[in-house]
Amino acid sequence: MPFRGSQKTTANTGTPKWFGFQEVALTDIVDKSADHDKLEVFLSISFRNNNSQYPFEYALLGSFDRDSNGNIEGENSLLKRILYFTDAIGWKGGVNTKGAWVDEDDKMLEDVAGYLNLNHTMANYDEDSDLDYYIFTYNRWNKNANKAYPTVCPKIVKNNPAGRKDLESYVQYMKANKFIVEHVDGSSEGTTSTASTTVGGTQTSF
């Protein structure tokens, strides 16, 4: 089997090792939509690796843009983010035109989080677990809260050469066009900085 390096973390004096590109395992999904009346979708998605003692939490949330018949419109930000995730995990289900969760056989899912946890997550994560996904994390400034929060980029990909190339190209574009702006401690707003790739605790320039 090709060697991919050690998962043990190393000392780092630059960007914290929990920011940047990460090879991760998908460990848990919680549906919080019932707690937020103004949101049609709110899935809290947890990823893990050995670069952080805490999960990387991705909030897949929002509401759909709809046409006059109440159907989801094709050019839809939330739908795009859902498809990023479902494509990455290889799930053929998703939402139908009315925004309801369905499986690959078009059967309604009352508990989408339970279904995904049963079929796609790794509940018993440990340091030897396979890291099947590739994500980008950064510190994002929130003007309303007047503080920065760790944020997972909404594009999730498979951890393979094609997936890594796809995400790295996407992040480069998003940074160049100021859609991703990384906050640097000591500044009051986000500033663009050089992204880093973190693989098994070792960082390389992006």
CA distance 137 to 149: 10
pLDDT of 142 reads 86
pLDDT of 202 reads 31
Asked whether 40 and 99 are in contact (CB, 8 A), the reply is yes
pLDDT grade for 24, boundaries at 50, 70 and 90: very high
pLDDT of 75 reads 81
The arithmetic mean of pLDDT across residues 151-180, rounded, is 96
Q: Which residue has the tokens 């050690």?
A: 6
Q: Taking the domains of the chain in order of start, what are their residue ranges?
A: 20-205
| pTM: predicted TM-score of the whole model, two decimal places | 0.80
Residue 7 is encoded by which pair of tokens? 């998962």
- pLDDT of residue 1 exceeding 60: no
Q: Which residues are CB-neighbours of 45 under 8 A, at least 6 positions away?
A: 26, 28, 29, 57, 58, 59, 60, 85
- pLDDT of residue 115 exceeding 60: yes
pLDDT of 19 reads 93
CA distance 167 to 90: 16
pLDDT of 185 reads 73
The arithmetic mean of pLDDT across residues 135-147, rounded, is 90
pLDDT of 189 reads 54
Neighbours of 163 (CB within 10 A): 18
pLDDT in tens, 46-101: 999 999 999 999 999 999 999 999 999 888 899 999 999 999 999 999 999 999 99
Q: Which residues are CB-neighbours of 102 under 8 A, at least 6 positions away?
A: 93, 94, 95, 96, 108, 109
pLDDT grade for 141, boundaries at 50, 70 and 90: confident
Spatial CA neighbour of 44 closest among 100, 121, 145, 124: 121
CA distance 98 to 194: 41
Question: Which is more confidently placed, 65 or 194?
Answer: 65
pLDDT of 188 reads 53
